[in-house]
Amino acid sequence: MEGATPAAAVTVRDLSVRFGSTQALDSVSVSLAEGEVHGLVGENGAGKSTLGKVVGGLYQPDSGELEVFGRPVHRWDTRRAQDAGVVIIAQELCLVPALTVAENVFLGRESRTFGVLHANLRARYRKLEEICGFGLPPDAPVETLPIADQQKVEIMRALAREARVIVMDEPTSSLTADESERLHEIMRWLRERGTTVVYVTHFLDDVLANCDRVTVMRDGRVIRTAEAAAETKAGLVEAMLGEPVDVLLPDLPPAPPPDTEPVAEMRDVRGDAVRGVSLRVRPGEIVGLAGLVGSGRTEIARALFGCDRIESGQVLFRGEPVTDASPRASIARGMAMIPEDRRAQGLVLQRPVLENVTLPHLGRFSRSGVLSRGSERAAVRELVERLGVRPAALDGDVSVYSGGNQQKVLFAKWLLGRPEFLILDEPTRGVDVGAKSRIYQLIVEVAAAGTGILLISSELEEVIGLSHRVHLVRGGAVVGEVPGPGTSVDEVLQRLFEVGQPQQSPSADETETGGRP
Amino acid sequence: MTATASARAGSGVNVPALVRHYAVLIMLVALFVVLSVSTSSFLTLTNLLNILNQNAPLAIIAVAGTLVVICGGFDLSTGAIFSVANVVAAWVALHLNSPVLGLIAAPLAGAALGLVNGVAITRLRIHSFLATLASSLVYAGLAVLITGGFLISVQATGFTALGRGGIGPVYYAIVILALFALLSGFLLNRTAFGRYVLSVGGNAEAAELSGIRVNRIKLYTFLYSGLAAGIAAAIGVSRIGTGQPQAGDGMQLLAIAAVILGGTSIYGGVGAIWRSVCGVYLLALIDNGFDILNANPFFKDLTTGVVILAAVALSVASKRR
């Protein structure tokens, strides 16, 4: 164990966290030393953010011990964490947009008498500014500042709370290379002051350049903690990957001949977070999109389905340019999309299974708007049985179904329309192993029946093993293509992490590799 | 009822939802029994028909309001639409000298104002609460403008037939309410439109991604609510034979209170028409009870308020399970 470091700021032992059926952290033990910058790295879903959030008090552990500055803690939340000097800066910044910089910095820590504020806000801010020297305008509303400056406000806020441990969850994901470098300077400065910084990120170069020690996580477990100086990028990637997980991937149906007319096509599409994407999916073909969280995978799917506006470029369906892009028009043409967040975007949780399944197809089950409930029930019953939804009750309360069964309900919903083109965004996120293998089978069956599929998944084994071709997505653009079967996860991950390439600023990288691979 | 309750609970349906569903009915029956036992003047055909008749216009508004709330909206302008529609009816009947045209004008005016609400909410993307709060002021002003602040008295005999006549002892108002409630229940439960209303209120994003024209569905619910306020106004103006610019004041709040008493979730997605009708008559019985028991009327509003508060608390509590 790493508890050997004499001055440990935070020590966790055998910490476990479960979310529903997912074991997010599985007896994790790690020790964060005083005055170090400690990197936390891992694949999507490896548990690095969860660990950061437990330390910061956002999540409560199910079991395990947490020790802060030598004191064991029992009840732990953000308030108690702050009192103990542990502050988390979440990926989505938590500032009040309309309040000024100074007001945000001292929010909740205002000096007051009987609730009346003292007029010393500026004096306190100046004192803090002498320490930090960020040079932010104290009276500017926070919403007028760029993200990087807002992050500094968060850091000042942490310092105003006399933070001795600051957890930064993916702080550079929305920063330019320049801004990231400045943040790294701040981290070094914090370290000199004796503050512990926990740096959760998936930019491995940044970790190697700026951290004292690195902890690698995989599948909710700590693989190892080591001196950053002793690590290499390739070594980190290897540790993050580990042994491939046992997933029973079904055999793919034969790929359609390459000269087949594509069912769906994007030509140099640009839009919100989509930066020049071209791709084509043929009938019966499964095309994967692999990328890290935030790489723009979902945005590409949304642009294709007509959810988000396209600024330039073209979407074609069966060779015809799409002029009236909207989910409604896409569905009418024979497209379907199972969205990323099944509870927020897929299901109407208050309504029973039956109503959820037939929702997009009520025209088929009604005459002059009056529903024919008999035929509706018959059609849904057949699908529920074919897909093995459990419980199989049509009037069942879908909000209490397990993740896997909710996902099957969504498959039933869209397969009922026999789509020619199906977009699957994270179809197995948070589902159990049994449902997963059923969903894999379904995907292959649907493709074998001639439907073109665009498959998005954070699980690389899944997206590689289930796709005929895999597009690599980074920064909203397709940066490469690999064949599905036969490609190693390692290779894809190396390319997604840009191992072996000189480090570039994200913006430069985008213009260079944007467009066709 | 207990049989269905236990059967549902057995299949994994939550108990709070059942409480929410049947609380209004239980309270209504309990109050009915208490009033029947404690006073001889309550349980008479005349008194019961009067209660049904007097509250029919409010019940019609609450029935349509249920669709609005299920769809995730609020209509605070129904009282003002009632006011406009009732003076329009009187004005048309007087100036065109046609009682029939006047009574037909009220629902049309109501539907038109409801349409304006719907367009404002969906086109300008204003929350319905704010949009109808503003439009209720505009409509209330419009009602005063039409009459110049005076009452419009209509003497033509045919004009009062709708409000005062009936089939045997049953007033037309009760018949119209029954038909309107049945039609609305059918719309909600047996048509594609009803499904869309439920799903838009339950999860607008999922509905949009399922190809439903979310804005159009929302707009229709407000159109329907305006139409209902117009029908209610036709009954109301016909009953007293006079168009009053303030006739609908406060009705919108009672209608929403009745919908919420009926356990329709203020978050949208679930609700039932019949329970809103029960809600209206629960409020009516509280009111009637104070009258016939000669209780201190000071406690009337207080009691009503406490009952509504309890119903809302129940709704919120069963949501956070």
Q: Which of B192, B203, B206 sits opposite A366 (nearest CB)?
A: B192
Model confidence at A513: pLDDT above 80: no
Q: Which helix (H) or strand (E) holds A181?
A: helix A177-192
pLDDT number for residue B188 = 97
Residues of B in contact with A345 (CB under 8 A): 203, 205-206, 209
Average pLDDT over residues B42-65: 96
Chain A nearest CA to B203, separation (Å): 5
pLDDT number for residue B4 = 35
Structure-token pair, residue A363: 């025209």
Range(s) within chain A of domains with CATH label 3.40.50.300:
8-241, 246-334+419-517
With CB atoms and an 8 Å threshold, state whether B11 touches A339.
no
pLDDT number for residue A77 = 87
- Higher local confidence (pLDDT), B123 or A128: B123
Average pLDDT over residues A24-53: 89
Model confidence at A71: pLDDT above 60: yes
Structure-token pair, residue B320: 């956070």
pLDDT, tens only, B207-241: 999 999 999 999 999 999 999 999 999 999 999 99
Whether A448 contacts chain B with CB within 8 A: no
Chain B nearest CA to A326, separation (Å): 8
Please name the residue that has the structure tokens 């920064």. Answer: A475
Chain B nearest CA to A349, separation (Å): 7
Nearest Cα neighbor of A93 from A108, A81, A105, A82 is A105
pLDDT number for residue A506 = 42
pLDDT number for residue A243 = 57
Model confidence at B68: pLDDT above 80: yes
Model confidence at B85: pLDDT above 80: yes
ipTM of this complex: 0.88
Average pLDDT over residues A488-493: 87
Q: Which of B211, B265, B269 sits opposite A328 (nearest CB)?
A: B211
A–B interface: beta-carbon pairs under 8 A: 86
With CB atoms and an 8 Å threshold, state whether A366 touches B191.
yes
What is the set of domains in chain B, with CATH numbers? 56-319 (1.10.3470)
Question: Alpha helices, DSSP H only, in A211-306?
Answer: 233-241, 297-305
Model confidence at B243: pLDDT above 70: yes
pLDDT, tens only, B130-179: 999 999 999 999 999 999 989 999 988 889 999 999 999 999 999 999 99
With CB atoms and an 8 Å threshold, state whether A344 touches B265.
no
Among B71, B187, B210, B220, most A C-beta atoms within 10 A, so best to mutate, is B210
pLDDT number for residue B221 = 98
Model confidence at B69: pLDDT above 50: yes
Cα(A86)–Cα(B218) distance, rounded to whole angstroms? 47
pLDDT, tens only, A89-132: 887 778 888 999 999 998 877 777 777 777 788 888 988 888 77
Whether A392 contacts chain B with CB within 8 A: no
Model confidence at A162: pLDDT above 70: yes
Among B209, B217, B319, most A C-beta atoms within 10 A, so best to mutate, is B209
pLDDT number for residue A247 = 55
User: Residue A311 — pLDDT band, cuts 50, 70, 90?
Assistant: very high
pLDDT number for residue A131 = 78
| Residue A222 and residue A254 in contact, taking contact as beta carbons nearer than 8 Å | no
User: Residue A355 — pLDDT band, cuts 50, 70, 90?
Assistant: very high
Average pLDDT over residues B179-200: 97
The fraction of chain A above a pLDDT of 90, given in percent, is 50
Average pLDDT over residues A384-407: 87
Chain A nearest CA to B34, separation (Å): 35
| Residue B275 and residue B22 in contact, taking contact as beta carbons nearer than 8 Å | no
Q: Is the peptide bond before A391 cis (omega within 30 degrees of 0)?
A: yes
Q: Which of A307, A332, A358 sits opposite B209 (nearest CB)?
A: A307
pLDDT number for residue B9 = 33
CATH number assigned to the domain with residue range A246-334+419-517, chosen from the 4 options 3.40.50.2300, 3.30.390.50, 3.20.20.70, 3.40.50.300: 3.40.50.300
Average pLDDT over residues A251-274: 93
Q: Which of B192, B212, B270 sits opposite A350 (nearest CB)?
A: B270
* Axis crossing angle, helix B298-319 with helix B273-292, rounded to the nearest 10: 150
pLDDT number for residue A24 = 82
Residue A138 CB burial class (10 angstroms; 0-12, 13-18, ≥19): middle
**Sequence-ordered list of residues with C-beta below 8 angstroms from that of B186, at least 6 positions apart, any chain:** none
pLDDT number for residue B263 = 87
Residues of A in contact with B16 (CB under 8 A): none
User: Residue B274 — pLDDT band, cuts 50, 70, 90?
Assistant: very high
With CB atoms and an 8 Å threshold, state whether B269 touches A307.
no
pLDDT, tens only, A414-472: 999 999 999 999 998 877 767 888 899 999 999 999 999 999 998 888 999 999 999 99
CATH superfamily to which A8-241 belongs: P-loop containing nucleotide triphosphate hydrolases (3.40.50.300)
Cα(A324)–Cα(A303) distance, rounded to whole angstroms? 12
pLDDT number for residue A21 = 60
- Higher local confidence (pLDDT), A6 or A471: A471
pLDDT number for residue B247 = 96
Residues of A in contact with B263 (CB under 8 A): none
Cα(A25)–Cα(A65) distance, rounded to whole angstroms? 13
Residues of A in contact with B209 (CB under 8 A): 305, 307, 327, 337, 339, 345-346
The most confident of the ranges A1-15, A163-177, A402-416, B54-68 is B54-68
With CB atoms and an 8 Å threshold, state whether A360 touches B269.
no
Among B8, B69, B71, B203, most A C-beta atoms within 10 A, so best to mutate, is B203
pLDDT number for residue A494 = 84
Cα(B242)–Cα(B236) distance, rounded to whole angstroms? 9
With CB atoms and an 8 Å threshold, state whether A360 touches B211.
yes
User: Residue B15 — pLDDT band, cuts 50, 70, 90?
Assistant: low
pLDDT number for residue A173 = 72
The fraction of chain B above a pLDDT of 90, given in percent, is 76
Q: What are phi and psi of B8, to 5 degrees?
A: -70, -40
The length of chain B, given as a count of residues: 321
Residues of A in contact with B205 (CB under 8 A): 344-345
Residues of B in contact with A359 (CB under 8 A): 195, 199, 206-207, 210, 212
Structure-token pair, residue A405: 């069964």
pLDDT number for residue A107 = 85
pLDDT number for residue B100 = 95
Model confidence at A81: pLDDT above 60: yes
Model confidence at A398: pLDDT above 70: yes
Please name the residue that has the structure tokens 């500014």. Answer: A129
Cα(A311)–Cα(A273) distance, rounded to whole angstroms? 11
Residues of B in contact with A337 (CB under 8 A): 209
Structure-token pair, residue A432: 């159990």
